[in-house]
Chain A
Amino acid sequence: MTRARTKDREEYNRLAQSFHPPRPVLRNALKAFLVGGIICTAAQVIFGYLSARLPRTQAFAMTSSLMVFLGAFLTGLGVYDEIGRFAGMGAALPITGFANSVVSPAMEYKREGFVLGVSARMFQVAGPVIVYGSLSALLVSILRVYVFK
C-alpha cells in the first residue's frame, strides 16, 4: 500500500505537475538566442581574422581550437557556469559549452588524483557527444557513400 497503485501514481503525477511553476519558455529562448548568437559572432570574428591569413579549412580548425580554449579558460575562472545558468542551451550548444563540459569534471575531480580523477572523468559529459556523433556520422557516411550514391 505504501507503493501507490499505478492509477494513483498517474493521478498524483498530474497533480504535482499542476503545482510546477511554468517554464519561462520565451524568455529562456531569447536568452539562449542572445548568448548563443554572441558566442557564434565572436567565433566568426576570430575566423574572419584567421581566414585572411590561412586556408579556409585550417582557419575553421584553428577557430574551433581557440573557442575551446576560451570556453575552458572561462570555466577555469569560474565564469562559464554562471553563463550557463543564465543562458541554458545558449551556453551549452556552442563548442565553448563542449569545452565547459570537459573542463568542469576535470577540475572537479582533481582531488581524486590526476589519473583516476581528472583524466578518467574528463569526458563524463562530453563522451556521449563524441560517441553518438561518431556513430551517427559513420551511419550517415555509409548511406552517402554506398547506398545513395
Chain B
Amino acid sequence: MTLLYAFLVGGALCALAQIIVDLTKTNPAFVMVSAVSLGAVLSGLGLYGPLVEIAGAGATTPLLGFGHSLVTGMLEDVARLGWFGLFTGGLRATAPGLMAAIVFGYLMAVLFNPKG
C-alpha cells in the first residue's frame, strides 16, 4: 500500500513542480531551491512528518524531503545539545545524501566522460 502512496505522492510533488515551471516560466534551479525551502517550512509546521509516515520514500525522495531532513536533524540535536544543535543537526541528518553525492560524483567523473 505504501508503494502506491509513494508513487502518488512522489509523482504529485514532481507534477506540481513541473506545472509551476511551465506556468511561471521560472528557471528550474529556482524551483529546486524553493522546493527545499518549502520542505523545511512544511516540516516546521509539522505537516511533512505525517506525509513521510504515509508515503515513505515518496515523500523523502523529492527535494522537499531534503529540507524536511535538515529541520528534523536540527530539532533532534537542539533537544540533545541545546542551541548548538542548530549547527550540527542539519548536515548530520543529510550527510548520507551529501556524502554519497561527493563520493559518487567524484567516482563517476573518474570513470566516465560526458557524451554530449
Do A and B actually bind? yes
User: Residues of A at under 8 Å CB distance from B?
Assistant: 23, 25, 28-41, 43-48, 60-69, 72-73, 75-78, 87-90, 92-99, 101-104, 106-108, 110, 114, 118-119, 122, 125-126, 128-130, 132-134, 136-145
A39 to B11, CA, bound (A): 9
Pairs across A and B, CB under 8 Å, 9 listed: A23-B22, A28-B22, A66-B100, A89-B18, A95-B66, A110-B113, A114-B109, A130-B98, A140-B44
Q: How many residues of B contact A (CB 8 A)?
A: 73
Q: Are B3 and A41 in contact (CB under 8 A)?
A: yes
Q: Are B3 and A33 in contact (CB under 8 A)?
A: no
Q: Are A25 and B61 in contact (CB under 8 A)?
A: no
Q: Are A68 and B101 in contact (CB under 8 A)?
A: yes
Closest 6 CB pairs of A and B: A40-B10, A36-B14, A37-B11, A137-B70, A140-B44, A43-B57
Q: Which residue of B lies closest to A99 (CB)?
A: B101
For A44, A73, A137, which residue has the most chain B Cβ atoms within 10 angstroms? Answer: A137
Q: Which residue of A lies closest to B37 (CB)?
A: A136
Cβ-defined partner of B62 (8 Å) among A36, A77, A126, A142: A36
Q: A43-B57, A87-B14, A139-B40 are in contact. List 4 more A-B contacts (CB 8 A).
A: A40-B9, A43-B10, A106-B109, A126-B101
**Contact partners of B115 in chain A: CB under 8 A:** 78
Q: Which residue of B lies closest to A78 (CB)?
A: B115
Q: Are A40 and B97 in contact (CB under 8 A)?
A: no
Cβ-defined partner of B104 (8 Å) among A37, A60, A72: A72
Q: Which residue of A lies closest to B6 (CB)?
A: A44
A77 to B19, CA, bound (A): 29
Cβ-defined partner of B57 (8 Å) among A44, A65, A126, A130: A44
Given A32-B15, A89-B21, the answer on whether A64 and B56 have CB atoms closer than 8 Å is no
**Contact partners of A101 in chain B: CB under 8 A:** 32
Residue B51 CB within 8 A of the other chain: no
**Contact partners of B19 in chain A: CB under 8 A:** 25, 28-29
**Contact partners of B99 in chain A: CB under 8 A:** 65
Q: Are B105 and A103 in contact (CB under 8 A)?
A: yes
